[in-house]
Amino acid sequence: MRIITCFKRKRLPLGLALLVIASSVGAQTEVSSTGTGNQNWANGGNWSCACNPNSTAYNVTIQGGHVINQNVGNLNINNLTVEAGATLYIQDGQEIYIHGNLTLNGTIVFQDGGNIESDGVRMEGNGRMLSGTGSFYNSMSNLDAGDTKSLFIFNNTTTIAAGTELRFYSASDTYVNMMQITSGITVTNNGTIRLEQLSLVGAASSSTWINKNGAYLYVGRALLATGTLTANEVGNTV
Protein backbone atom coordinates (compact mmCIF):
# COMPACT_ATOMS: atom_id res chain seq x y z
CA MET A 1 0.00 0.00 0.00
CA ARG A 2 1.30 3.42 -0.96
CA ILE A 3 1.12 6.08 1.73
CA ILE A 4 1.31 9.73 0.78
CA THR A 5 1.90 12.25 3.54
CA CYS A 6 1.16 15.90 2.89
CA PHE A 7 2.81 18.72 4.77
CA LYS A 8 1.41 22.20 4.92
CA ARG A 9 4.01 24.75 3.94
CA LYS A 10 4.41 27.79 6.12
CA ARG A 11 5.11 31.00 4.32
CA LEU A 12 7.34 33.67 5.78
CA PRO A 13 5.93 37.18 6.00
CA LEU A 14 7.12 39.24 3.03
CA GLY A 15 9.29 41.56 5.13
CA LEU A 16 11.04 38.64 6.84
CA ALA A 17 11.56 36.87 3.53
CA LEU A 18 13.20 39.93 2.04
CA LEU A 19 15.41 40.26 5.11
CA VAL A 20 16.57 36.66 4.75
CA ILE A 21 17.35 37.18 1.07
CA ALA A 22 19.24 40.42 1.74
CA SER A 23 21.32 38.83 4.48
CA SER A 24 22.30 35.85 2.35
CA VAL A 25 22.96 37.57 -0.98
CA GLY A 26 25.52 40.30 -1.55
CA ALA A 27 26.39 40.82 2.12
CA GLN A 28 29.67 42.67 2.70
CA THR A 29 32.14 42.47 5.56
CA GLU A 30 32.95 45.76 7.30
CA VAL A 31 36.71 46.27 7.67
CA SER A 32 38.50 49.17 9.38
CA SER A 33 42.16 50.15 9.55
CA THR A 34 43.87 49.54 12.88
CA GLY A 35 46.89 51.83 12.62
CA THR A 36 49.15 49.06 13.92
CA GLY A 37 50.61 47.49 10.75
CA ASN A 38 53.31 48.60 8.32
CA GLN A 39 50.78 50.74 6.36
CA ASN A 40 50.81 48.49 3.27
CA TRP A 41 47.33 47.49 2.13
CA ALA A 42 48.17 43.79 1.75
CA ASN A 43 49.43 43.50 5.35
CA GLY A 44 46.67 41.98 7.49
CA GLY A 45 48.08 43.76 10.55
CA ASN A 46 46.63 47.00 9.19
CA TRP A 47 43.05 45.73 9.22
CA SER A 48 40.40 44.64 11.71
CA CYS A 49 39.86 41.46 9.66
CA ALA A 50 43.56 40.51 9.92
CA CYS A 51 43.38 39.96 6.17
CA ASN A 52 44.11 41.61 2.82
CA PRO A 53 40.70 43.16 1.97
CA ASN A 54 40.99 42.79 -1.79
CA SER A 55 37.49 41.69 -2.81
CA THR A 56 34.07 43.20 -3.46
CA ALA A 57 32.99 41.33 -0.33
CA TYR A 58 34.60 44.11 1.75
CA ASN A 59 33.48 47.60 2.76
CA VAL A 60 36.71 49.30 3.80
CA THR A 61 37.16 52.28 6.15
CA ILE A 62 40.50 54.01 6.68
CA GLN A 63 40.09 55.66 10.06
CA GLY A 64 41.12 59.21 10.92
CA GLY A 65 44.86 59.60 11.55
CA HIS A 66 45.76 56.35 9.76
CA VAL A 67 47.91 56.01 6.62
CA ILE A 68 47.51 53.20 4.07
CA ASN A 69 49.70 52.54 1.03
CA GLN A 70 47.95 50.79 -1.89
CA ASN A 71 50.58 48.25 -2.99
CA VAL A 72 48.63 45.30 -4.40
CA GLY A 73 48.24 46.10 -8.11
CA ASN A 74 44.59 46.01 -9.18
CA LEU A 75 42.55 46.25 -5.99
CA ASN A 76 38.79 45.51 -5.95
CA ILE A 77 36.51 46.49 -3.05
CA ASN A 78 32.88 47.44 -2.50
CA ASN A 79 32.56 50.68 -0.48
CA LEU A 80 35.58 52.80 0.44
CA THR A 81 35.51 55.41 3.21
CA VAL A 82 38.53 57.62 3.93
CA GLU A 83 37.83 59.51 7.15
CA ALA A 84 38.97 63.05 7.95
CA GLY A 85 42.68 63.03 8.83
CA ALA A 86 43.30 59.72 7.03
CA THR A 87 45.54 59.36 3.96
CA LEU A 88 45.50 56.74 1.21
CA TYR A 89 48.60 56.65 -1.00
CA ILE A 90 48.30 55.12 -4.47
CA GLN A 91 51.63 54.36 -6.10
CA ASP A 92 51.90 54.61 -9.88
CA GLY A 93 51.10 51.24 -11.39
CA GLN A 94 48.47 50.51 -8.72
CA GLU A 95 44.72 50.89 -9.22
CA ILE A 96 41.61 50.76 -7.02
CA TYR A 97 38.32 49.50 -8.48
CA ILE A 98 35.44 50.70 -6.29
CA HIS A 99 32.27 48.72 -6.98
CA GLY A 100 30.19 50.50 -4.34
CA ASN A 101 30.30 54.05 -2.93
CA LEU A 102 33.30 56.29 -2.27
CA THR A 103 33.20 58.63 0.72
CA LEU A 104 36.29 60.83 0.96
CA ASN A 105 36.73 63.17 3.91
CA GLY A 106 40.51 62.67 4.12
CA THR A 107 43.12 62.64 1.35
CA ILE A 108 43.98 60.32 -1.54
CA VAL A 109 47.50 60.90 -2.91
CA PHE A 110 48.63 59.68 -6.33
CA GLN A 111 52.33 59.28 -5.66
CA ASP A 112 55.37 58.57 -7.81
CA GLY A 113 57.08 61.65 -9.20
CA GLY A 114 57.40 60.15 -12.68
CA ASN A 115 55.06 59.88 -15.63
CA ILE A 116 51.67 58.23 -15.18
CA GLU A 117 51.73 54.57 -16.11
CA SER A 118 48.30 53.45 -14.89
CA ASP A 119 44.86 54.67 -13.91
CA GLY A 120 44.28 55.44 -10.24
CA VAL A 121 40.73 55.21 -8.84
CA ARG A 122 37.90 53.72 -10.90
CA MET A 123 34.20 53.96 -10.00
CA GLU A 124 32.87 50.63 -11.29
CA GLY A 125 29.45 50.12 -9.71
CA ASN A 126 26.27 51.24 -11.49
CA GLY A 127 24.21 53.93 -9.74
CA ARG A 128 26.78 54.48 -6.99
CA MET A 129 27.58 57.56 -4.92
CA LEU A 130 30.62 59.83 -4.59
CA SER A 131 30.62 62.08 -1.52
CA GLY A 132 32.79 63.83 1.05
CA THR A 133 34.77 67.01 1.71
CA GLY A 134 38.31 65.72 1.18
CA SER A 135 40.92 66.01 -1.56
CA PHE A 136 42.78 64.14 -4.29
CA TYR A 137 46.41 65.23 -4.62
CA ASN A 138 48.52 64.42 -7.68
CA SER A 139 52.32 64.32 -7.32
CA MET A 140 52.85 62.73 -10.76
CA SER A 141 54.77 64.84 -13.26
CA ASN A 142 52.98 64.28 -16.56
CA LEU A 143 51.47 61.90 -19.09
CA ASP A 144 53.62 59.92 -21.48
CA ALA A 145 53.31 61.13 -25.08
CA GLY A 146 49.99 60.01 -26.55
CA ASP A 147 48.81 58.50 -23.27
CA THR A 148 45.12 58.71 -22.38
CA LYS A 149 45.22 57.45 -18.80
CA SER A 150 43.44 59.36 -16.05
CA LEU A 151 43.78 59.32 -12.29
CA PHE A 152 40.05 59.18 -11.51
CA ILE A 153 37.68 57.35 -13.85
CA PHE A 154 33.89 57.10 -13.87
CA ASN A 155 33.42 53.68 -15.47
CA ASN A 156 29.74 53.48 -14.55
CA THR A 157 26.83 55.79 -13.82
CA THR A 158 27.58 57.82 -10.66
CA THR A 159 25.86 60.50 -8.58
CA ILE A 160 27.87 63.11 -6.69
CA ALA A 161 25.94 63.78 -3.49
CA ALA A 162 24.66 67.19 -2.39
CA GLY A 163 27.02 68.70 0.19
CA THR A 164 30.08 67.14 -1.45
CA GLU A 165 33.11 69.46 -1.72
CA LEU A 166 36.03 67.63 -3.32
CA ARG A 167 39.28 69.25 -4.45
CA PHE A 168 41.53 67.67 -7.09
CA TYR A 169 44.92 69.39 -7.40
CA SER A 170 48.57 68.94 -8.43
CA ALA A 171 51.98 69.80 -7.05
CA SER A 172 52.74 71.83 -10.17
CA ASP A 173 51.08 73.07 -13.34
CA THR A 174 51.44 69.85 -15.33
CA TYR A 175 49.24 68.34 -18.02
CA VAL A 176 47.31 65.51 -16.40
CA ASN A 177 43.91 64.03 -17.25
CA MET A 178 42.68 64.01 -13.69
CA MET A 179 39.13 62.86 -14.32
CA GLN A 180 37.62 60.81 -17.15
CA ILE A 181 34.10 59.69 -18.02
CA THR A 182 34.03 56.54 -20.13
CA SER A 183 31.82 56.05 -23.19
CA GLY A 184 28.06 55.97 -22.54
CA ILE A 185 28.40 56.93 -18.86
CA THR A 186 26.58 59.79 -17.11
CA VAL A 187 27.84 61.56 -13.99
CA THR A 188 25.28 63.69 -12.13
CA ASN A 189 26.78 66.39 -9.93
CA ASN A 190 24.80 67.75 -6.97
CA GLY A 191 27.84 69.04 -5.08
CA THR A 192 31.09 70.98 -5.61
CA ILE A 193 33.98 69.60 -7.66
CA ARG A 194 37.22 71.56 -8.23
CA LEU A 195 39.83 70.31 -10.71
CA GLU A 196 42.68 72.76 -10.24
CA GLN A 197 45.34 72.72 -13.03
CA LEU A 198 43.67 69.55 -14.29
CA SER A 199 41.36 68.29 -17.05
CA LEU A 200 37.97 66.59 -17.22
CA VAL A 201 37.90 64.40 -20.32
CA GLY A 202 35.37 62.17 -22.03
CA ALA A 203 36.08 58.98 -23.93
CA ALA A 204 33.28 59.71 -26.43
CA SER A 205 30.49 62.17 -27.19
CA SER A 206 28.23 59.95 -25.04
CA SER A 207 30.39 60.69 -21.96
CA THR A 208 28.05 63.01 -20.07
CA TRP A 209 28.37 65.35 -17.08
CA ILE A 210 25.15 66.86 -15.67
CA ASN A 211 25.34 69.81 -13.28
CA LYS A 212 22.15 69.92 -11.20
CA ASN A 213 20.57 72.88 -9.41
CA GLY A 214 23.09 74.33 -6.95
CA ALA A 215 26.01 72.25 -8.26
CA TYR A 216 29.46 73.75 -8.87
CA LEU A 217 32.14 72.54 -11.29
CA TYR A 218 35.55 74.17 -11.78
CA VAL A 219 38.04 72.78 -14.31
CA GLY A 220 41.44 74.47 -14.63
CA ARG A 221 42.32 72.94 -18.00
CA ALA A 222 40.34 71.13 -20.72
CA LEU A 223 36.63 70.65 -20.01
CA LEU A 224 35.07 67.78 -21.99
CA ALA A 225 36.67 68.55 -25.34
CA THR A 226 35.06 65.20 -26.14
CA GLY A 227 31.81 64.55 -24.31
CA THR A 228 28.59 66.30 -23.33
CA LEU A 229 28.14 68.92 -20.61
CA THR A 230 24.59 69.65 -19.44
CA ALA A 231 24.50 72.70 -17.19
CA ASN A 232 21.16 74.42 -17.80
CA GLU A 233 19.53 74.19 -14.38
CA VAL A 234 19.02 77.36 -12.35
CA GLY A 235 21.69 77.90 -9.69
CA ASN A 236 24.40 75.66 -11.13
CA THR A 237 27.88 77.05 -11.87
CA VAL A 238 30.56 75.96 -14.35
Residue 16 lies in a domain: no
Identify whether the C-beta of residue 225 lies closer than 8 Å to the C-beta of residue 204: no
Beta-carbon contacts of 199 under 8 Å, excluding residues fewer than 6 positions away, are: 175, 176, 177, 178, 179, 219, 220, 221, 222, 223
Residue 11 lies in a domain: no
Cα 53 from chain centre:
16
Cα 132 from chain centre:
11
pLDDT, one tens digit per residue, over 93-140 is: 788 999 999 999 999 998 765 444 456 899 999 999 999 999 999 876
The structural domain count of the chain equals 1
Residue 236 lies in a domain: no
| pLDDT average, residue stretch 185-193 | 98
Q: What global pTM score does this model have?
A: 0.85
Residue 195 lies in a domain: yes
Structural domain boundaries, residue 65: 27-230
Residue 21 lies in a domain: no
